[in-house]
Chain A
């Protein structure tokens, strides 16, 4: 890399990729060729920078200039101005929303200031398709250290002392899990990486695999050494073609470099990794379901015990960890358990990656120390609520989690605090909701998901969630009764207590937490038949304000069911019996004469 004096890093994560970052890479290379600069400046397509809201992102190194929302046609300016003349292109720099000033270095941006990157340490820095760049950033050193200087027990002790807990949602101690798998006696054991990121709104695993696949491969090999396994399997969603492609490249390069295969680092340890594809089933994130799916069966969970550490894939001891968990392991080995356990809260150590999405200004992927408050995450890093609206709640833990409100904003985020607040960490998705979101509709939306994704094996989850969904549907339509709120609650408790796996045990969480935190809103739906957020169609009425109506007939012409009557230049009227509440008239009216009641 030394021959180049400058590097142009272009984000190749999914969000930026979808926004034509490939064209930016091509244009930059063409431009450099035209200006005969290809031997001085290198263009690298990296993994995700995290700041998806402002993508596509181009970073110029070594001066750390961070260009946002770059378009393929901007590339000529970047080369001519920045690379040749040494002048930063101000119009492409990030503008601080409060000071309105351009910020050139990402270190000074609110989005990055409070972040601490361990799992994402290489994302956005290296070309994920080149193993040398990973090695240049201490890659595979942890594996070397483990194989040549440490016994499996020492490694497990180190991981246990670091206090790392599984990042997939369960929060089980990683070291303890490894220890259990090591203790199981068998001729064959398996290391499985759970990359079946099914939680809608979470994309951290995908970003790690796309931006730094080797960190996961290295950690799997370390795990294999500890538990006594020579076979690693990555179970990955088929919906992630880019991650699959980069993993395949990474595995091949690791093999070519002798970092996977036989006698790694000249020791007698051998380890290899292959891929298994998922096919779109949320329940396969549950480890027993995942194992069945890898065996070519329907992804239905089974009762634990036996735990996979005793009897997993093909009946052999199997250790399943999530992508983010694995990605942090090499850093823990190199920097030590003490360093890792100094970060975070008493019972939740280290950092956690969160996917910020929804009604928030800075959608993206962030990594912060455990113990950071929701307020810091949403209002400082996330830049607050979109369009100046009011914050209403944040759903953490995806469809299995709960919705936290204003009163939770100063709670330090960790595994236990989130559970105490009625939610959970889950995989780390945070969906921010504003005043326009209806909490009954949201609960129904999550149930819609759970009903569709329930595997159907156990009755509480299969039938119970469907009933919950029906009840919520009735409430949204204004057919709910006050007793329904108790029925929702009772049924939720039964489903949680009696379901077979994590999916059913957590599926009523959104309903329970939303009913608890937004009781008034539920009451308004059932007693007053009103939706305060104005989202539930059946409870809405479009009404024409006679004072503003000029009789232009635009609304009557656009109405698909002819519910609006009135002569030209006279006040119009909506027949509520016929109105289907499509909102077409509301959008068409230029005189603000139609309002929603």
Chain B
């Protein structure tokens, strides 16, 4: 029964129109971002640089693009939209009452749908990661050998991070589905995650001290996810080169970035609003907590 619901949910998510629409938006934004990166970050004739320098150039472009878009806002928005197509749609359309009148355990239904959502979003994330790599490779003009140190070296950590983000956004989506039982409201509530990611990312870049004075970093999804990504990159791969730390410092606010490229030194200090392990624990607790709330509420739900 668990597998039947899991398969059915994956089928619901594999809606060609929704996937094509997402792909179109994803590629368009990626193209726009790559033009910015290409012009500002990647040197001309990069293929003529020594391999190690090419790898570093590719790495320092690939990781921020991945964090910001590939498994960042793009994936979070996709998660909000796709999660609304499953449990909330079942409740909204009225198919849930027939489903729950069958001898299935409610926690099995919820968990099967959640895992199918995570699987699907993870597949979307893998496709997105490949697209980012392919586009960067093509538009940047890197040599093929640079993919080893520039992309594949960080792939294990990035895949784990993508799985983590998929689970996180879907836990929010499942709780929203059970609370609202409405597609649009579920999508809107889950979209709070990418909204917080984007708004607080922008707030952090604005000069002034509002971000620190009001401890906005505590609800800054981009900062916490940046912390988690940096932790995973450091744990599952080689130590992060200082240039990559600088990129994560600028984009995710994880590292203190000194003014001027010359002053980077060998390694950067963490900003340290919150320890990366605490960010990880916070996100894990939030994911499990929301899932537990969804399970309890779903168990008591009057259909």
A in complex with B = no
Using a CB–CB cutoff of 8 Å, the interface residues on chain A facing chain B are none
Using a CB–CB cutoff of 8 Å, the interface residues on chain B facing chain A are none
